[in-house]
Structure 1
Amino acid sequence: MAVRAAPREGTRAIALLTIVGAFSSAIYLPLAAVLVDAFGWRVALRTMAIGAGVVLVVAAVFVRERVEPGAAPRRSAAPISLRRPEVVRFLVATALAGIAIGIVLVYQVPLMVGAGLPLATAATVAGVRGALQIVGRLPMTSMLARWDVRTVTRLAFASVAVGVILLGFAGNLWVAALFALVAGFGIGAWSPLRGIYADELFDRSRLGAAMGTVSMVSGLAVAAGPAVAGVLADLTGTRAWGVVIGAASAMTSVVILRRPPPPPNQPPNA
């Protein structure tokens, strides 16, 4: 939607949209803790589900598409195809990063509480982590002007990996604060980078379908990561598996997105 609204400034439009979205975690994570303490988790889930539903209905009714007259796709790229190695690497890295991000989102409060922080403090740190996602989004335009999207994405995934490791030792408030900063940057940066990377890989006439595919892969991974970590926690009696799986997944995504070697007869800088 952002790219179609501003086809000549797609990167800036995506970054601006996700900057606004960064404030949601700062509101809803502390609110969730308050609702759970006051009314229980069922009421908390119902309240948030109703709120999300109301917002989606309002958006469906009032948001209108505005296409710039005469705008043409910026490039002509190949369709969505798993025969393209760069597409496969992108989807695999997206899935692995989604596993790590899902573990952070689901287990950040339980891991901090298990490490020794009070529930209210852990929920506040989680909210701050959500607010600090803006740290990963504000400099996105300037970072992409200096480095290519692959390099910036690898930096974001590496930040998620470091954040997961810090989460495993977040019983100390200072370590928890550092986790909030580092993980907030990585998760915040990945939100616009997902669309910007897809915009680099696919023709804009297929960008909607491409983002649907990427979102499906990411959503399944975000759900699978905490589920696997939860099963292992039940079997072993420790949540440390979440930290191990999350950190390993995020670091593997960094490796997968490394620049592929040039063909045998092509110079390295070609």
Structure 2
Amino acid sequence: MSPPPTPWTTVPILGIIQILTWGTTFYLLSILAEPIALDTGWSALSVTFGISLALLVSGLSAGSVGRLITRHGGRSVMSAGIGVLSVGLLGLALAPTLPAYLAAWAVIGAAMAATLYEAAFSTLGRIFGGDARRAITTLTLIGGFSATICWPLSAALVEAVGWRGTCTVYGALHLCVTLPLCRFGLPPSQTVQPPASDPQDAVGWNDIRLRAMGVAGICLVFIFVTLSIHLIPILVASGYGLAAAVGLGALIGPSQVSARVLEMLGRQRHSPVLTMIAAALCVASGVLGLAVGLPAAICLITYGAGAGLWTIARGTVPLALFGPTHYTATMARLALPILATSALAPLLGTLLIPALGPVGTLAALGLVALVPCGAALLLWRLRTPLTPR
């Protein structure tokens, strides 16, 4: 009989999978958008619409993926998702027209639902049950290096083989490396048994705790996506030089990782809801601080810490509130509105900045950030101790 799975063997494998899947989906166009537009003549808006379409498809697919993980376990579903991702990347490489290019992104979106954090968190929940919190925290720490690793790799590949060659290489990489790692490295999900009733009926939107998580996630992801695209132009419009703005923006990544390290060192001695409260307060303080003219470096470090903590909270708070039995279904329910917001946020941000200006935009985002603070405090008030399951 094989030994029981442990986080020390499972999490590093999932971490490698997260680095490679995030780097070849969500972060792909950060490097490839300009080469694609120059090579094809398609507009920059049309090219970047691909990731918005993928996020929307991912959100629409989340419920089905959640049910599949509940029935078959994360290893099988994530393996299938990696195979679909390879097909989508090869479709990008071969796309002769803009409709074919967007169709490939739709395929990638379905794969994202089965391979990125929501699927990985659900897989850990199915394997380790109520003990998955530390594994989720460690996974976010490893996954946080995706852009750090894949942006330089993508840039080098584009320089060597072009954007189509880069997509081909990534498709082959998933087939030859990521897929075997997932299929043969992850344990089967046998620890937690699915409920006899339909898991999708277990936790509905009539539960105020789920609504609070959903509202917080929608507000925070809107802020994160908007600032990930528009932060540098906002800082430049506020009076910073381009080099200074880029340097300030570079503070966010290390602060995210540092906050995750501190959370991991806490050894689960506090409620995950406290992590969510800290995340919401840090994001609100950072954005509102920028709006009122506080030192940008301090504000962005605070904001980055909040973003890093939210990545942990979005996986650990549902586990603490609803338990492992309905965890996968809960994550699937939350994914749809949050990913749909991710898809729409770039467009909404583009409309917001000309209407309000840089300071007004930061103030508006800061007010939006107060909503998750209220939601987190509500969850703290409503929290109940988990009984053994």
Q: Give the structure-2-normalised TM-score.
A: 0.54
Change (3 A) 1:49 1:168: farther
- SS for the counterpart of 2:188 is coil
- SS for the counterpart of 1:81 is coil
**Does 1:253 pair with 2:372?**
yes
Give the corresponding residue for 2:135. Answer: 13
Change (3 A) 1:217 1:8: same
Change (3 A) 1:151 1:8: closer
Equivalent AA in structure 2 for residue 165 of structure 1: L
**Does 1:105 pair with 2:224?**
no
Give the corresponding residue for 1:214. Answer: 334
1:124 to 247, 257, 265: 247
Q: Shift of the alpha carbon at 1:135?
A: 1.8
Deviates more, 1:10-19 or 1:98-107: 98-107
Aligned equivalents of 1:95, 1:200: Cα separation in 2: 20
1:80 to 169, 185, 203: 203
Aligned length: 250
Q: Shift of the alpha carbon at 1:196?
A: 0.5
Instruction: Say if 2:248 and 2:300, in contact at 8 Å, map to a contact too.
Output: yes
Give the corresponding residue for 1:240. Answer: 359
Equivalent AA in structure 1 for residue 338 of structure 2: S
Change (3 A) 1:127 1:75: farther
1:188 to 288, 301, 308: 308
Q: Report sequence identity in percent.
A: 19
Aligned equivalents of 2:141, 2:379: Cα separation in 1: 31
Change (3 A) 1:243 1:223: farther
- Unaligned 5+ residue runs, structure 1? 264-270
Higher relative helix content:
2
**Does 1:163 pair with 2:286?**
yes
Give the corresponding residue for 2:187. Answer: 66
- SS for the counterpart of 1:80 is coil
Change (3 A) 1:262 1:135: closer
Change (3 A) 1:230 1:54: farther
Instruction: Say if 1:4 and 1:67, in contact at 8 Å, map to a contact too.
Output: no
Change (3 A) 1:14 1:120: same
Instruction: Say if 1:2 and 1:17, in contact at 8 Å, map to a contact too.
Output: no
Q: Shift of the alpha carbon at 1:151?
A: 2.3
Deviations 1:23-70 (A, max 9, x none): 2344567x59x96xx99xxx89x898778766655433431330376x
1:24 to 124, 146, 149: 146
Equivalent AA in structure 2 for residue 245 of structure 1: A
Instruction: Say if 1:136 and 1:188, in contact at 8 Å, map to a contact too.
Output: yes
Equivalent AA in structure 2 for residue 89 of structure 1: A
Q: Shift of the alpha carbon at 1:90?
A: 1.3
Change (3 A) 1:89 1:224: same
Give the corresponding residue for 1:268. Answer: none
Instruction: Say if 1:100 and 1:245, in contact at 8 Å, map to a contact too.
Output: no
Q: Shift of the alpha carbon at 1:136?
A: 1.8
Deviations 1:234-254 (A, max 9, x none): 345x23343123211111111
Q: Shift of the alpha carbon at 1:87?
A: 1.1
**Does 1:154 pair with 2:277?**
yes
Aligned equivalents of 1:68, 1:162: Cα separation in 2: 40
Deviates more, 1:52-61 or 1:211-220: 52-61
Instruction: Say if 2:286 and 2:302, in contact at 8 Å, map to a contact too.
Output: yes
Give the alignment of 1:18-57 within 5 angstroms.
18-26=140-148, 57=175
Change (3 A) 1:261 1:240: closer
Q: Shift of the alpha carbon at 1:11?
A: 0.6
1:177 to 291, 297, 303: 297
Equivalent AA in structure 1 for residue 231 of structure 2: Q
Deviations 1:59-98 (A, max 9, x none): 33431330376x2369999813112111111111211122
Higher relative contact order (CA 8 A, sep 6+): 1
Instruction: Say if 1:132 and 1:181, in contact at 8 Å, map to a contact too.
Output: yes
Deviates more, 1:4-13 or 1:86-95: 4-13
Equivalent AA in structure 2 for residue 66 of structure 1: P
Aligned equivalents of 2:274, 2:297: Cα separation in 1: 26
Aligned equivalents of 2:166, 2:284: Cα separation in 1: 29
Instruction: Say if 1:27 and 1:127, in contact at 8 Å, map to a contact too.
Output: no
Deviations 1:103-127 (A, max 9, x none): 2222222122222333344233323
Equivalent AA in structure 1 for residue 376 of structure 2: L
Q: Give the structure-1-normalised TM-score.
A: 0.74
